[in-house]
């Protein structure tokens, strides 16, 4: 059985730094499992690993498509599995790193997503607001509505589209396939107060690093209305650049919305009983060493 290590946690929890440190120690290479770092040019608000960080350890599945293009979860999963096998073939350990629970589940548990939908229907749904889509999804699939990010138009459109085309709930159409590798999932557990402080500091640093210019350049090249531009950081700075709010208001909204997003991430991950939560980062070495010895036996890592 092949072995894979995943490092997950809410945004600003320290996944990038820990994954680089562990990949160095345990001869690993990193596969980013994130629904935003796949976009070219979306660097600062996504907290994409810097070029300097990527020099330490190889990183994959970053900068795959332009913001105006799409890459489905199924397509991403296929790319990730190919990269996992490639890394293992070199005698290395793949580290899956990110905060996208759906992407993690699709790779680690082999979830097979519903087939692609109808472009005409999708165009129609994309004209609806997030609130309208979410209300529609609650009627069509209340189970999936409890899990989805209600502020992510791309996810909402996709879920409603599948429900309408098939006449079945989206949640009933996700098939689980037994993966051909065993995964140790390490979760970074951060106290709420500390996480809020880290998020606030990160947002301030993003502004200092040029987030406003990044969003302005992207909007001039593409569009404010792209699904990719709806994520936290981009939508608040968009509002500022459109003159709807002040920069200070945009920053405050960004901090609040990032914290809300982090809470949704935590809620998603806490439902996964396979995750080994780390209250102390130094625990990670011990867990990985134990996993390396016992992964073939099927013993649970505690």
Task: With respect to residue 237, please indicate whether it lies within any of the assigned structural domains.
Answer: yes
* Structural domains in the chain (count): 2
CATH number at residue 247: 1.10.287.890
Give the pLDDT confidence of 136-147 residue by residue, as tens digits: 999 999 998 988
Task: With respect to residue 160, please indicate whether it lies within any of the assigned structural domains.
Answer: yes
Which string of b and e fits 233-263 if b means at least 16 CB within 10 Å?
bbbbbbbbbeeebeeeebbebbbbbbbebbe
Report whether pLDDT(243) > 80. yes
pLDDT at 228: 86
Task: With respect to residue 87, please indicate whether it lies within any of the assigned structural domains.
Answer: no
Task: With respect to residue 55, please indicate whether it lies within any of the assigned structural domains.
Answer: no
pLDDT band at 294 (very low <50, low <70, confident <90, very high): low
Give yes or no: residues 205 and 257 share one domain. yes
Give yes or no: residues 197 and 227 share one domain. yes
Task: With respect to residue 159, please indicate whether it lies within any of the assigned structural domains.
Answer: yes
Give yes or no: residues 156 and 129 share one domain. yes
Give the pLDDT confidence of 54-105 residue by residue, as tens digits: 988 999 999 999 998 988 888 999 999 999 999 999 999 999 999 999 899 9
Give yes or no: residues 211 and 240 share one domain. yes
Domain that holds residue 239: 192-261
Give yes or no: residues 150 and 120 share one domain. yes
Name every residue whose Cβ is closer than 8 Å to that of residue 205 and which is 6 or more positions away in sequence: none
Report whether pLDDT(122) > 90. no
Task: With respect to residue 202, please indicate whether it lies within any of the assigned structural domains.
Answer: yes
Q: Note the pTM of the prediction, 2 decimals.
A: 0.84
Q: What is the 3-state secondary structure (H, E, C) of 194-254?
A: HHHHHHHHHHHHHHHCCHHHHHHHHHHHCCCCCHHHHCCCHHHHHHHHCCCCCHHHHHHHH
Q: What is the mean pLDDT of the chain?
A: 90
Give yes or no: residues 159 and 202 share one domain. no
CATH number at residue 161: 1.10.20.140
- The percent of residues in the chain predicted with pLDDT above 70, rounded, is 96
Task: With respect to residue 102, please indicate whether it lies within any of the assigned structural domains.
Answer: no
Burial of 4 (0-12, 13-18, 19+ CB in 10 A): buried
Give yes or no: residues 150 and 208 share one domain. no
Give yes or no: residues 164 and 199 share one domain. no
Give yes or no: residues 197 and 252 share one domain. yes
Give yes or no: residues 163 and 197 share one domain. no
Task: With respect to residue 73, please indicate whether it lies within any of the assigned structural domains.
Answer: no
């Amino acid at each position: 059985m092949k072995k894979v290590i995943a490092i997950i946690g809410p945004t600003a929890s320290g996944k990038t730094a820990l994954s680089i440190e562990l990949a160095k120690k345990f001869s690993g290479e990193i596969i980013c499992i994130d629904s935003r770092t796949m976009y070219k040019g979306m660097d600062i608000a996504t907290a994409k690993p810097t070029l300097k960080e990527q020099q330490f350890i190889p990183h994959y599945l970053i900068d795959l498509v332009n913001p105006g293009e799409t890459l489905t979860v199924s397509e991403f999963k296929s790319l990730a599995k190919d990269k996992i096998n490639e890394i293992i073939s070199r005698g290395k350990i793949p580290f899956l790193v990110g905060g996208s629970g759906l992407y993690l589940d699709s790779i680690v548990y082999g979830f097979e997503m519903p087939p692609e939908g109808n472009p005409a229907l999708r165009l129609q749904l994309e004209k609806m607001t997030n609130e309208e889509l979410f209300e529609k999804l609650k009627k069509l699939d209340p189970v999936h509505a409890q899990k989805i990010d209600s502020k992510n138009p791309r996810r909402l459109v996709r879920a409603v589209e599948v429900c309408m085309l098939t006449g079945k709930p989206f949640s009933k159409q996700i098939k689980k396939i037994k993966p051909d590798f065993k995964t140790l999932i390490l979760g970074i557990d951060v106290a709420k107060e500390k996480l809020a402080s880290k998020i606030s500091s990160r947002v301030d640093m993003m502004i200092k690093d040029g987030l406003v210019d990044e969003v302005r350049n992207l909007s001039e090249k593409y569009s404010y209305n792209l699904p990719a531009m709806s994520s936290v950081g981009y939508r608040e700075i968009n509002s500022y650049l459109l003159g709807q709010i002040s920069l200070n208001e945009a920053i405050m909204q960004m901090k609040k919305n990032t914290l809300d997003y982090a809470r949704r991430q935590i809620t998603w991950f806490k439902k996964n009983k396979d995750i080994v939560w780390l209250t102390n980062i130094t625990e990670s070495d011990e867990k990985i060493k134990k996993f390396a010895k016992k992964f073939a036996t099927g013993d649970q890592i505690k």
